[in-house]
Amino acid sequence: MSAALKVHRSMSLRDLLFHGAAFVVIIAGLKAAAPLIVLFLLAIFLVVLAMPAHMGMLRRGVPPAIALLILVAFLAVVGGVMAHVLRLSMEDIYRKLPSYQVSLQEQVSVVTSWLTAHGVEVPNEIIRRTLSEKAPFQMVGNAITTFSKFLGRGFIVILIAAFMLMEATVLPAKLKSIPGVDDRSLDRFKQMLDNIRVYIGMKTVMSLLTGVLVGSGLFLLDVDNAVMLGILAFLLNYIPNIGSFMAGIPGVLLAFIQFGFGHGAVVLVMYVVVNVLVSNVIEPRYMGRGLGLSPMIIVMSLMFWAWVLGPVGMLLSIPLTMVLKIAMESMPETRGYALLLGGNPEARQGDDADQG
């Protein structure tokens, strides 16, 4: 009995080391090929969003070529408008950069004077030296330039998505022809795609609502580049937990530079109200009981995929982790690991009982 136990432990340790080594190799490959993989992942992201509209047009008798052309044209127009807005915003920021720097120095001087008058020691020399440098503003400009270049690759992403949409209608038949793929496996694959599509679709609607509300609020408060900041809020809302916080920083900072501390505080309150309304009131009502992922896993997946794939990994962290979780749930040998990713074991057990 003890000999059998030793053999079992040896095999378990060997399997663990093998799987760990395979995981490291796969992650190293993903990180090395991140620039290429990101394009394909974004294309899949677009396909998941566009697939219901594509299938709907096909069911209504629209020729496949026309349906594909309509979707590609729509994606190209949306991407082109976003790129144009960002380019105009970048030019506006570069043009106003000197005045922003002077205004920031004045606003910081007012705040530091108030703090000094109330007995708070302020390192004035360090602050003055930091604000006299252009590094913070150059960082903003470089970030916008990098993002604009990334949008310039959108044509490649749309082209890849178009070819994927062409294959999507015949993909189930191709999968069914693979040896070892039965109807049960195909149903699980369809369920995984449906879950991801529902999440991405609802998240897109919530992100769009956030972007519209933020952009409108900033416009009414007379903050520069309100449209660009609304687009930024839309995109960063895909990032769980910290995305809304990241989106609020440039808006609040710009309001502070333009108008001072009071206006910046009003903009901060506006961001908080919008995000509480969307994330805590509207989103839970329409997205059900959540993602099936624990909060710790959400944060860890955010950090992990950002490290592997860069900034785009933050946007796609939840869909990628959901794919991993659903794939592990479909295999008995990895189902235990899937439970570790879940946020509610009792609910998971209830779902399993319903399926049984």
In sign, the C-alpha dihedral spanning 154, 160, 161, 166 is positive
CA distance 106 to 173: 66
Q: Residue 142 has which token pair?
A: 């470089």
- Residue-level pLDDT at 348: 47
Helix (H, G, I), strand (E, B) or coil at 331: coil
- pLDDT digit string, tens, across residues 33-57: 888 888 888 888 888 888 888 888 8
The DSSP string of 328-354 is: HHTSGGGHHHHHHH-S-HHHHHHHHHH
- Residue-level pLDDT at 218: 94
Question: CA of 48: how far to CAs of 191, 194, 204, 305, 333, in Å?
Answer: 13, 9, 11, 20, 28
- Residue-level pLDDT at 217: 93
Q: Low-confidence residues of the chain, pLDDT below 50?
A: 1, 4-8, 11, 346-356
Question: CA of 166: how far to CAs of 28, 44, 67, in Å?
Answer: 31, 13, 10
The full set of domain ranges for the chain reads: 35-165, 208-287, 289-356
CA distance 255 to 110: 15
CA distance 321 to 251: 30
- Residue-level pLDDT at 220: 94
- Residue-level pLDDT at 7: 44
Does the predicted TM-score (pTM) go above 0.85?
A: no
Residue 169 DSSP symbol: T
- pLDDT digit string, tens, across residues 97-122: 778 777 877 777 777 777 777 776 76
